[in-house]
Amino acid sequence: MSTTTDLAALPEAAPSVTASSETVTATASPLAERYGPDQSVPLAPLTDAIDGILRHRTVRAYLTDPLDEVVLPTLVAAAQSAPTSSNMQFWSVVAVTDLARKDRLAALAGGQEHVRQAPLLLVWVADLARARAIGDAHGTSLEGTDYLDSTVVAFVDAALAAQNAVVAAESLGLGTVYIGALRHHPEQVAAELGLPEGTVAVVGLVVGHPDPAGGERVKPRLPQAAVLHHETYDLAVQWPYVDAYEDLIAPFYREEGLAESWRRRVVDRLAVPGPQRGHAHLHTALAARGLPSR
Ligand SMILES: Cc1cc2nc3c(=O)[nH]c(=O)nc-3n(C[C@H](O)[C@H](O)[C@H](O)COP(=O)(O)O)c2cc1C
């Protein structure tokens, strides 16, 4: 069922890849971009779904062209097809197309231009309000929704839904970029979207037609040996692979004009709580939104 693809031997890109047998008949693999040309990865037949997922890249330059009207319901159907814990469906999504509202949300997200540029911003919401309203209708206060587990479930549900929408959008040739920066200002975002108590924005997702001049590339990831453990976890075994990743990602970051060391970026991002990002404030903000997360 699997075969080892020699990444170094593969051409750089394949327009489309389909697998009709148990061996990879592809002439190219996006894995060379994901892991660098020197690694061999045992690969199942490269289905359209796998190929599309492996080719993912975040898009930050968009045309202003509107989306076809079938796109939104298609993305929501994909999102709703994601697994959801106990079928509780603890999430909702707010579709924002209004220019003035996108402008204000872009400002709340630190002035990210792609929020303004692209025609659609989907805001994925952890939603305990619907369940509580059902409880109220039954004359029962849903105390369980006050606990951290419910908050975690709602965040996981919302993230799984959002990622299904990403996969669907990319399969339609559209681009996406998550907007985690909406967590800088949870209360203002909630006010902008009219979110009721018991809900909070988890992440935004810009959707649009990629500007062909954008030139996004597949961003390399850590070698599998750094993230994949067999039976039990081993931290120490990872370091040579993290070192190898430094060499792989450095040219990528250099071209983007960013600090070249991934390890340095990890340290710089997390050395302080990042109050400017609302991190220190998030626990309080969640409680204020009606997610006390006890
Ligand atoms: C939860 C989450 C929040 C993110 N927030 C932002 C953001 O606010 N702005 C942005 O430009 N990219 C954002 N991103 C995109 C990441 O920077 C991007 O996925 C990462 O650098 C890897 O690049 P790739 O998606 O092209 O592989 C976010 C991604 C995730 C998963």
The pairs formed by 222-227 with CB atoms below 8 angstroms and a separation of 24 or more are 223/35, 223/39, 224/35, 224/41
Nearby residues of 7 by Cβ (< 8 Å), 6 or more positions away: 29, 31, 32, 35, 36, 37, 38, 39, 40, 41
Q: Are residues 76 and 207 in the same domain?
A: yes
Any domain includes 284: no
Q: Are residues 18 and 76 in the same domain?
A: no
Any domain includes 26: yes
Q: State the pLDDT at residue 122.
A: 99
Q: Are residues 108 and 43 in the same domain?
A: no
Q: State the pLDDT at residue 27.
A: 34
Q: How far apart are CA 154 and CA 158, in angstroms?
A: 6
**Ligand 1 atom closest to 221 (CA):** 27
Token representation of residue 250: 């450095």
Pick the closest to residue 71 from 5, 158, 182, 168 (CA basis): 168
Q: Are residues 109 and 42 in the same domain?
A: no
- Out of 190, 211, 232, pick the residue that ends a domain: 211
Q: Are residues 47 and 119 in the same domain?
A: no
Q: Are residues 132 and 194 in the same domain?
A: yes
* Cα-to-centroid distance, 205 and ligand 1 (Å): 10
Collapsing DSSP to helix, strand or coil, 180 comes out as helix
- Domain of residue 83: give its range: 71-211
Q: Counting runs of H as helices and runs of E as strands, what totals does the chain give?
A: 12, 6
Q: Are residues 87 and 205 in the same domain?
A: yes
Q: Are residues 79 and 207 in the same domain?
A: yes
Q: State the pLDDT at residue 79.
A: 99
Q: Which of 58, 59, 123, 252 best tests ligand 1's pocket when mutated (most atoms within 8 Å of CB)?
A: 58
Block residue for tokens 């799984």: 160
Any domain includes 87: yes
**Ligand 1 atom closest to 60 (CA):** 11
Pick the closest to residue 109 from 181, 58, 180 (CA basis): 181
* Cα-to-centroid distance, 19 and ligand 1 (Å): 30
Q: Are residues 75 and 50 in the same domain?
A: no
Q: Are residues 48 and 131 in the same domain?
A: no
The single-letter code of the amino acid at 162 is A
Q: State the pLDDT at residue 11.
A: 30
Token representation of residue 6: 């020699």
Any domain includes 243: no
Considering only CA atoms, which residue is closest to atom 28 of ligand 1?
Answer: 178
CB-based pocket (< 6 A), ligand 1? 56-58, 60, 112, 177-181, 203, 219
Instruction: Give the pLDDT of the chain (294 residues) as one tens digit per residue.
Output: 343 433 333 333 333 333 333 334 333 578 899 999 888 888 899 999 999 999 999 999 999 999 999 999 999 999 999 999 999 999 999 999 999 999 999 999 999 999 999 999 999 999 999 999 999 999 999 999 999 999 999 999 999 999 999 999 999 999 999 999 999 899 999 999 999 999 999 999 999 999 999 989 999 999 999 999 999 999 999 999 999 999 999 999 998 888 889 999 999 888 887 655 556 788 999 999 999 999
Q: Are residues 138 and 86 in the same domain?
A: yes
Contact 120, 207 (CB under 8 A): yes
Q: How far apart are CA 164 and CA 81, in angstroms?
A: 8
* Cα-to-centroid distance, 112 and ligand 1 (Å): 12
Q: Are residues 170 and 116 in the same domain?
A: yes
Q: How far apart are CA 55 and CA 67, in angstroms?
A: 22
Any domain includes 11: yes
Any domain includes 117: yes
Q: Where are the beta strands (DSSP E) in the chain?
A: 3-6, 40-43, 91-96, 120-127, 175-179, 199-208
The domain that contains 194 carries what CATH number?
3.40.109.10
* Cα-to-centroid distance, 180 and ligand 1 (Å): 7
Number of separate domains in the chain: 2
**Ligand 1 atom closest to 159 (CA):** 1
- Out of 211, 242, 270, pick the residue that ends a domain: 211
Token representation of residue 99: 């220019």
Q: How far apart are CA 293 and CA 244, in angstroms?
A: 39
Any domain includes 224: no
Any domain includes 119: yes
- Out of 211, 240, 258, pick the residue that ends a domain: 211
Q: Which of 178, 256, 269 best tests ligand 1's pocket when mutated (most atoms within 8 Å of CB)?
A: 178
Give 176's strand partners: 207
Q: State the pLDDT at residue 37.
A: 87
Contact 285, 278 (CB under 8 A): yes
